Amino acid sequence: MTDGLTFMDIFEVYSPEDKRVLMFQMPATPTGIPAGWKNRYYDRKGESLSEISFEKLDRIRGERRTDWSKSFVKGATINDLDPQAIKLARKNYQQNLKKFK
Is residue 92 included in any domain, yes or no? no
Residues 57-75 have pLDDT tens digits of 898 888 887 777 778 889 9
Is residue 81 included in any domain, yes or no? no
What domain range is 19 assigned to? 9-65
Q: Does pTM surpass 0.85?
A: no
In 3-state terms the chain splits into helix, strand, coil percentages (rounded to 5) of: 30, 25, 45
Residues 6+ apart with CB under 8 A from 20: 12, 13, 14
Is residue 50 included in any domain, yes or no? yes
Is residue 43 included in any domain, yes or no? yes
Whether 36 has a pLDDT exceeding 50, the answer reads yes
Whether 4 has a pLDDT exceeding 50, the answer reads yes
Is residue 74 included in any domain, yes or no? no
